[in-house]
Structure formats: C-alpha cells, structure tokens
Amino acid sequence: MQIGNIKLKNNLILAPMAGVTDVGFRSLAVSYGADYAVCEMVSAKALKYKNKKTEDLLITAPNEQIKVAQIFGSDPKIMASIVKSKYLSKFDIIDINMGCPAPKIVKNGEGCALMKNMELAKSIISECVKATNKPITVKFRAGIENNVNACEFAKMCEQAGASAITIHARTREQFYSGKADLKLIEKVKKSVKIPVIGNGDVIDEQSYLQMLKTGVDAVMIGRGALGKPEIFSEILNLNKPVNKLEDIKFHINTLRQYYPETLVVKEMRKHILWYLKGYRNSTQLKTQIVKEKSLDKVIDMLETFFNETK
C-alpha cells in the first residue's frame, strides 16, 4: 500500500489516541512492527497560538521512520496555515480528525461534527491539500445523529484531494460501544479509489483477518494496543521476544528525555495499569503505583514484582 509517495510494508498502523499515543508508546509500537504510529490529535488553533503543551505532543522518536501528525479544527484557513507551518515540517503524512466523538470537540463544530457539515469538511480538506505536497489523510466515523453517511463522506474526501481515508465504523453516538460495522467498511472501500484504512475492534490476529475481509488496504489498531504494543508483532507473526518490564522501563525513560518528572509520573500511571492487565497478584502493586510520585521507586516496585513472578 502507498499513501501519496509514502510506501508501507506491513499495512498495520497504531491509531491516534488522546492521552495514550505519546512518543514512548509510539516508539514501542513501531519497534514491534507497526508501519507508523499516529501522534495524539492536536488542535490547529492551539498551535497557531503557540501553545507549548500542544507543541510537546508532536515530539517524535528516532525509530519513527514514517512520522504522522493528526490535527483537528473547523477553520479551513487556520488548518491550512498549520499544515505548512514549522510545527508539522518534520511529518511525512498529515491526518485530519473528523471522527472524534468527545462532547467538547463536537460542540465546537470539530471532529465528528464535521460529518454533518460536508461543505465545510470539504473546504478544510481541499485547503490543506493545496497548502502542501505531503499526503493529507482523513479519519472519520460511520456518521452522526443517526445519519450514517460514511460512503458519501468518503467520496467527498476523495474529491477534495485526500490521499487516503480511515473509517472507524461506529457512529458518534456509539462512541466505543457495540460492534464496529464491518459491512459498512466494505461499502466505503467500494465507494472510492483511494486507499482505505479500517479501524475498530481489532484486538488479535482473528479480528485483524476479519477486518481484511472488508477489502481495506490497511488496518489501524487503537484500544487493542493498550498495554500491548506487541500486538503488531503477534498479528504479523514476527516472533519478536516480549519483555514487559523492559518495555515499561523503555516507555518511562523515553518520556523522561522530553518531559518533566511530575508529568511522566502522571502519564505513566494509566499506561502501567494497562501493561499489568492480566498479571496475577498485581492488585496491590497497581494501588501503590497510582500513589507513588517517584519514577525510580515505581521502577523498583516493578522490578521486584516481575522478578517474583518469573
């Protein structure tokens, strides 16, 4: 598969997830075989006003050979200005979020709200395409407010110049409940000629193969990768050895290179709870880690736990 001039090898991608796909987690996903891992979505308006926290979300790891940023907003001019700004200069692909279901985002007319404003969505995409020679992609949902218009939206994205699209086959109202509609993904794939990436409910090789049956060109994994970046290796049968303790330490130490200790402690808590999912007798450790403010002590506790569970 090719997105614009960017060639993929494995056709497996880590989805952008707010508060999850930080530089450490993305680096792990790529090391386990993901073609690329998308940064957390960032506000174009926040970048325009030089918001430091937003800029920090765009830090990338040395092993990210294909760098992909995802931006959101509802002003075509601002979106286009950010696409050609210094903030996104190092990125190879720029994705536009038109699928986020969060109430705050939708209320502002951004994310999934753009699925009910096709003309504005088309203007945003076309302005961004004009602003760069890099591939512009779009991620969206099945629909919003009981209007499942994913096929029409996909055609519009193609007409506006998008190089590829990603479809998460749930409506805005479903958020992440129920099952992703694979038949809808199949219809979307048949409705356009540009590459289509399928997203939703891929948690193992079996669900990956089910997604491939829709005819998609690539598969994007989101929640199935939480605490389990090795999912890419497992699906691709790469047989990469997994050392959960070393992965957690790598994640922590990568974040430490770029962010203050207090922020890393806060961000790693949820990640560590995901990493420890399924481990017997980890309840007490989880309780301690949530309260601990020293990363070195967290690492010590983890080393003790994993040494005892060998």
**147-148 vs 136-144, strand pairing mode:** antiparallel
| Class of residue 99 by CB neighbours under 10 A (exposed 0-12, middle 13-18, buried 19+) | buried
3-state DSSP: the chain helix, strand, coil percent, rounded to 5? Answer: 45, 15, 35
Q: Which stretch of DSSP H or E encloses residue 137? A: strand 136-144
Contact between 243 and 31 under an 8 Å Cβ cutoff? The reply is no
Cα separation, 88 vs 129, whole angstroms: 14
User: Which position among 100, 112, 151, 157 bears the catalytic label?
Assistant: 100
- Identity at 5, one-letter amino acid code: N
Q: Which residues contact 46 (CB under 8 A, 6 or more apart)?
A: 53, 54
Which helix (H) or strand (E) segment is 142 a member of? Answer: strand 136-144
Distance CA 269, CA 292 (A): 9
Rounded Cα–Cα distance for residues 265 and 29 (Å): 21
Separation between Cα atoms, residue 70 and residue 13, nearest integer Å: 13
Active site residue 100: yes
Residues involved in catalysis: 100
